[in-house]
Structure 1
Amino acid sequence: MGNRRDQIKSVAAQLFVENGVAGTSVRDIAEGVGMLSGSLYHHFPSKDAIAFAILSDFLIDLNSRYRSVLPHVNGMREELRALVHSSIEIAEAHPYATEIYQNEKSYHGPGAPGEIADAVRAAHTFWIDAATRASTCGELRAGLDPVEFARMLRESVWWSIRYHRDHLAERRDEVTDTVVAAFVDGGAAPDLRGGVGPGSADRTIADRLDRIERRLEELSNALINET
């Protein structure tokens, strides 16, 4: 039954992203799995229960991965890189879960199920705590709000996962490197960036961002050419 449940969730996840939860019927899911609608109810009581299970499984694994990797790294760059890389790995293992959460207001709005909302808050706390530690010890650039910095970094990761969904496994390291270079290195205090004189840190950031922008353009063109 466990394998059948996983198959149902896998098919439903893609349908939910393509058509929305409201626009997907139990029959659509059942046909995608190759079973009768009535048989699907032996595994899940409703399509909403399937969506809940997809998100709950994803968030449980995400928080578990965060808890397992963070004790083994130190410093802003290592901690945030571990969070970025772990997020991409878990998103690979749970395709479309992030997109479902982003698309469905019922799961990220005021009326979100308590279990989902609690798990999301727990996940956010890992990012905020890492950025706050970096700010407290002077690793984060002065003047940056650690909470806002953590939010922007975290959201850039989920956007990147969505953008690179079809090639995520092959480009996991590229996406990680780009996000880390743009946000983590860019947000580091000047003396941690290797600057050697007045204004050198800002020039280093500008050069790095120019390179990142060119790289993103190359990746975008590559994706267009592959479609």
Structure 2
Amino acid sequence: MGPMPDRREKILAVSAELFATKGVASTTVRDIGEAADVFSGSLYHHFKSKNAIVAELLTRYMNDIQRRFAEVVERSQSPQEVLRGLILETLVIIEQHPHPTAIYQNDRRYLRDNGLLEPVDHASRSVREYWMTAIRAGVADGSLRDDIPAEVFYRSVRDSLWASMHWPIRGGYSTGEFADLLTRLFFGGFATER
């Protein structure tokens, strides 16, 4: 194995950062080549198009989320433990994959218009199932309340987690501390017990 895989990884890393900061539509193959120190022609040796780079970044991203969520389910003993794990892993994913996270969140129109959103949305639906399965199991075993629809709980948690990457206070907490705070808020609410 020579420098080829390294060059391919460098192209992916550089592209991810450019897409996240400039937007996918505004990033050209020339931009990527210059940033990765690769001629455009040689770049096409690794990827047939800019969209092929985007597709690979998002596929790796979604595969990592699926792998992490499957591990959470595997090691958890209860629905609440699964949900705690999913909350933590989502925050870890945002932290470890800031560029694909930004691409997925900020460039949805580009992804949709270029046929790149459907594969990601398909993977995203199976990620959603990890949440919904745990929530329904918690309602069924009585550990979670049944007077709030599972879908409302799921979307509230999911949207809060993804939005938190933009919160100015986010940097004041470690990932574990922040996951713990949000878990306590979602499971316990904000009102004191009377």
TM-score computed with the length of structure 2 as normaliser = 0.84
For 1:146, give the aligned amino acid.
Answer: A
> Could you tell me which residue of structure 1 aligns to residue 192 of structure 2?
203
In 1, distance between residues paired with 2:188 and 2:11? 41
Q: How does 1:164-183 map to 2 (within 5 A)?
A: 171-183=174-186
> Could you tell me which residue of structure 2 aligns to residue 43 of structure 1?
46
User: Which of 2, 14, 19 is residue 16 of structure 1 equivalent to?
Assistant: 19
In 2, distance between residues paired with 1:204 and 1:108? 46
> Could you tell me which residue of structure 1 aligns to residue 149 of structure 2?
145
Closer/same/farther in 2, CA of residues 174 and 202 from structure 1, 3 Å limit = closer
> Could you tell me which residue of structure 2 aligns to residue 198 of structure 1?
none
For 2:97, give the aligned amino acid.
Answer: H
Query: 1:112 offset after TM fit, Å?
Result: 4.8
Residues 1:64 and 2:67 are matched in the alignment:
yes
Which of 1 and 2 has higher RCO (CA within 8 Å, sep 6+)?
2
Over the matched positions of the two proteins, sequence identity in percent amounts to 34
- 8 Å CA contact retained: 1:83, 1:127: yes
Question: What residue ranges of structure 2 are gaps of 5+ in the alignment?
Answer: none
Query: 1:91 offset after TM fit, Å?
Result: 3.4
Closer/same/farther in 2, CA of residues 112 and 135 from structure 1, 3 Å limit = farther
- 8 Å CA contact retained: 1:101, 1:108: no
In 1, distance between residues paired with 2:178 and 2:42? 40
In 1, distance between residues paired with 2:155 and 2:164? 14
For 2:5, give the aligned amino acid.
Answer: G
Q: Secondary structure at the match of 1:48?
A: helix
Query: 1:122 offset after TM fit, Å?
Result: 0.7
In 2, distance between residues paired with 1:5 and 1:167? 32
- 8 Å CA contact retained: 2:112, 2:118: no
> Could you tell me which residue of structure 1 aligns to residue 128 of structure 2?
124
Deviations 1:16-70 (A, max 9, x none): 1221110111111111112222221111111111111111101011101111221
- 8 Å CA contact retained: 2:132, 2:154: yes
- 8 Å CA contact retained: 2:80, 2:134: no
User: Which of 132, 138, 145 is residue 134 of structure 1 equivalent to?
Assistant: 138
Q: How does 1:75-224 map to 2 (within 5 A)?
A: 75-106=78-109, 107=111, 112-163=116-167, 171-186=174-189, 202-204=191-193
Q: Secondary structure at the match of 1:203?
A: coil
Question: What residue ranges of structure 1 are gaps of 5+ in the alignment?
Answer: 187-200, 206-227
Closer/same/farther in 2, CA of residues 112 and 12 from structure 1, 3 Å limit = closer
User: Which of 9, 28, 31 is residue 28 of structure 1 equivalent to?
Assistant: 31
In 1, distance between residues paired with 2:174 and 2:13? 22
The worse-fitting range, judged by mean Cα deviation, of 87-96 and 116-125 is 87-96
TM-score computed with the length of structure 1 as normaliser = 0.73
In 2, distance between residues paired with 1:204 and 1:67? 35
For 1:24, give the aligned amino acid.
Answer: T
Number of matched residues?
Answer: 188
